[in-house]
């Protein structure tokens, strides 16, 4: 490691850490020491070559989308783009249905011809009413009725979270749109794109700057006594871990992956198949080659199985976890009131927020402008 204190100590070389370091270098000429305990950058967006030479998303697929032109322009300085061909099907009763639920899904499921109006009417007849939607189950019952909820969501959600949808915030299942048209993209957003050479290339270009020193395989706990940044620490890891789980562990959900090579050009009809059924332990199979368009005689299908132990991937949004997170946030505020230099908690793990990559980058840009203001107005 170079001599001399950095201006910023940035813990976590995922999207948020890379963006803050890049802004700090380019806008303010600040020097960052960017560390990560893993042996690579880009966090869970990291993509890499499988031994077959195929590009894979080892931590699950990342379907970049945004409606924010300024954000897209910012990222376009580090990558060109290919179209995000994000089509997903769900395997229900042995048949593949377009997912998210759209008019084609409804026609196939209910075996009748529908248009937007008749579909909306059908679902309003099937839906259940609640005075106030309090959880994911009520959200889905109020939008879709019991049959669709049980076929497409109940089993998948139980596998994904090891919890019943009635114990999860409405926002969890509310992430998936329900459409009364034939749009079959998995995600919403004006721009649905994939970095042409992958996320790792994008973020490595972003932090390729003389004022950014990257150190991989470095744990913050081993370093914090020795490195005292001049301006601030940016912490992008899990907030409960930062405080040594003082208030108890926050619930996190993890995933395990199996990347299977197949010696044929393509193995499944679209990039992702969802498995709500209890007959298999995995929730989805992903063949990212559908999006990367890589030319290769073979293909890799990644099976994704949720688990409770392992690295934290997802916060688990519920009343209980929200309360605990707020208590940790209080601890963070308290620590910052007494600290010589502030610690900013930013990103999915540090803010215990279930957000997408574009939202994490927006959060990082916003946080950087707050750090700048705090510095300029003498609050750091
Ligand atoms: N979900 C479901 N069935 C599906 C897909 C999603 O029940 O076929 C629910 C599940 O609870 C999941 C949530 O909707 O965790 C959000 O899905 P999304 O695909 O956005 O999850 P992510 O890509 O963030 O893992």
Residue 74: exposed, middle, or buried by beta-carbon count in 10 A (0-12, 13-18, 19+)?
middle
Average pLDDT score, the chain: 97
pLDDT tens, residue by residue, 79-93: 999 999 999 999 999
Q: Which two tokens stand for residue 143?
A: 């939008």
Residue 264: count other Cβ atoms within 10 Å of its Cβ.
8
Instruction: For residue 18, give Cα distances in angstroms to 106, 138, 241.
Output: 42, 39, 21
Whether residue 307 contacts residue 218, with contact meaning beta carbons closer than 8 Å, is answered with no
22/41 Cα distance (integer angstroms)? 14
Nearest CA-CA partner of 294 in 75, 64, 56: 56
pLDDT tens, residue by residue, 176-231: 999 999 999 999 999 999 999 999 999 999 999 999 999 999 999 999 999 999 99
172 lines ligand 1 (CB under 6 A): yes
158/251 Cα distance (integer angstroms)? 15
Q: In the predicted model, is pLDDT for residue 2 greater than 60?
A: no
Would you state the pLDDT for residue 378?
A: 80
Q: In the predicted model, is pLDDT for residue 128 greater than 90?
A: yes
Residue 79: exposed, middle, or buried by beta-carbon count in 10 A (0-12, 13-18, 19+)?
buried
Q: In the predicted model, is pLDDT for residue 311 greater than 90?
A: yes
Segment holding 58, helix H or strand E: none
Cα angle for residues 92, 290, 106 (degrees, 5° grid): 30
Would you state the pLDDT for residue 338?
A: 85
215/103 Cα distance (integer angstroms)? 50
Collapsing DSSP to helix, strand or coil, 171 comes out as helix
Q: In the predicted model, is pLDDT for residue 255 greater than 60?
A: yes
Whether residue 192 contacts residue 64, with contact meaning beta carbons closer than 8 Å, is answered with yes
Q: Which two tokens stand for residue 313?
A: 């991937």
Q: How far is the CA of 100 from the centre of ligand 1 (A)?
A: 10
Give the residue with greater pLDDT, 4 vs 50.
50
Would you state the pLDDT for residue 64?
A: 98
**Angle between helix 116-126 and helix 103-110 axes, rounded to 10 deg:** 60
Proportion of the chain above pLDDT 70, given as a percent: 99
Average pLDDT over residues 374-378: 89
Average pLDDT over residues 107-130: 98
pLDDT tens, residue by residue, 177-190: 999 999 999 999 99
355/346 Cα distance (integer angstroms)? 12
Would you state the pLDDT for residue 375?
A: 93
pLDDT band, very low/low/confident/very high, at 4 (cuts 50, 70, 90): confident
Would you state the pLDDT for residue 327?
A: 98
pLDDT tens, residue by residue, 241-250: 999 999 999 9
Would you state the pLDDT for residue 368?
A: 98
pLDDT tens, residue by residue, 132-177: 999 999 999 999 999 999 999 999 999 999 999 999 999 999 999 9
357 lines ligand 1 (CB under 6 A): no
Nearest CA-CA partner of 191 in 59, 64, 346: 64
Which of 86, 154, 157 has the most ligand 1 atoms within 8 A of CB, as the residue to mutate? Answer: 157
Q: In the predicted model, is pLDDT for residue 1 greater than 60?
A: no
Instruction: For residue 324, give Cα distances in angstroms to 89, 238, 330, 331, 343.
Output: 36, 13, 10, 11, 19
Segment holding 278, helix H or strand E: none
Edge-first strand listing for the sheet containing 191-195: 65-66, 191-195, 81-83
170/50 Cα distance (integer angstroms)? 37
173 lines ligand 1 (CB under 6 A): yes
Residue 59 sits at φ, ψ, to 5 deg, of -105, 25
7/231 Cα distance (integer angstroms)? 5
Would you state the pLDDT for residue 3?
A: 57
Beta pairing class for 343-345 and 232-235: parallel
Q: How far is the CA of 173 from the centre of ligand 1 (A)?
A: 6
187 lines ligand 1 (CB under 6 A): no
DSSP track, 190-207: SEEEEETT-HHHHHHHHT
276 lines ligand 1 (CB under 6 A): yes
Q: Pick the residue whose CA is nearest to atom 13 on ligand 1.
A: 173
Q: How far is the CA of 176 from the centre of ligand 1 (A)?
A: 7
Q: Pick the residue whose CA is nearest to atom 2 on ligand 1.
A: 153
Alpha helices in 8-85 (DSSP H): 15-23, 69-76
pLDDT tens, residue by residue, 318-345: 889 999 999 999 999 999 998 889 999 9
Which regions of 114-271 does DSSP assign to beta strands (E)?
Answer: 191-195, 212-216, 232-235, 252-262
Would you state the pLDDT for residue 263?
A: 98
Q: How far is the CA of 218 from the centre of ligand 1 (A)?
A: 33
- Ligand 1 atom with the shortest distance to the CA of 153: 7
């Amino acid at each position: 490691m170079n001599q001399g204190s950095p201006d910023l100590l940035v813990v976590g070389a995922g999207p948020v850490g890379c963006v803050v370091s890049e802004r700090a270098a380019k806008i303010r000429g600040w020097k960052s020491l960017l560390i990560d305990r893993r042996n690579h950058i880009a966090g869970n967006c990291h993509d890499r070559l499988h031994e077959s030479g195929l590009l894979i998303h080892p931590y699950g697929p990342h379907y970049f989308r945004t409606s924010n032109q300024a954000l897209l322009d910012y990222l376009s300085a580090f990558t060109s783009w290919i179209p995000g061909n994000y089509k997903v099907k769900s395997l229900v009763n042995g048949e593949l249905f377009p997912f998210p639920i759209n008019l084609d899904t409804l026609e196939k499921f209910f075996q009748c011809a529908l248009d937007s109006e008749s579909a909306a009417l059908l679902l309003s007849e099937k839906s259940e009413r609640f005075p106030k939607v309090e959880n994911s189950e009520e959200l889905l019952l109020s939008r879709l009725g019991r049959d669709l909820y049980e076929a497409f969501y109940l089993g998948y959600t139980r596998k994904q979270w090891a919890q019943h949808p009635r114990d999860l915030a409405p926002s969890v299942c509310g992430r998936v749109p329900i459409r009364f048209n034939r749009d079959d993209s998995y995600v919403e957003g004006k721009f649905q794109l994939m970095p042409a050479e992958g996320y790792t290339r994008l973020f490595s270009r972003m932090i390729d700057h003389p004022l950014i020193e990257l150190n991989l395989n470095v744990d913050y706990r081993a370093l914090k006594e020795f490195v005292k940044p001049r301006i601030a620490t940016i912490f992008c890891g899990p907030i409960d871990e930062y405080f040594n789980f003082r208030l108890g562990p926050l619930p996190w959900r993890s995933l395990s992956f199996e990347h299977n090579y197949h010696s044929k050009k393509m193995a499944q009809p679209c990039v992702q198949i969802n498995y709500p059924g209890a007959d298999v332990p995995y929730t989805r199979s992903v063949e990212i080659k559908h999006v990367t368009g890589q030319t290769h005689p073979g293909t890799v299908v990644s099976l994704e199985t949720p688990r409770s132990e392992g690295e934290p991937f997802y916060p688990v949004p519920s009343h209980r976890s929200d309360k605990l997170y707020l208590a940790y946030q209080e601890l963070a505020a308290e620590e910052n009131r007494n600290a010589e230099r502030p610690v900013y908690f930013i990103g999915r793990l540090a803010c215990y927020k279930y957000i997408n990559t574009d939202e994490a980058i927006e959060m990082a840009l916003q946080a950087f402008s707050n750090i700048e203001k705090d510095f300029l107005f003498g609050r750091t």
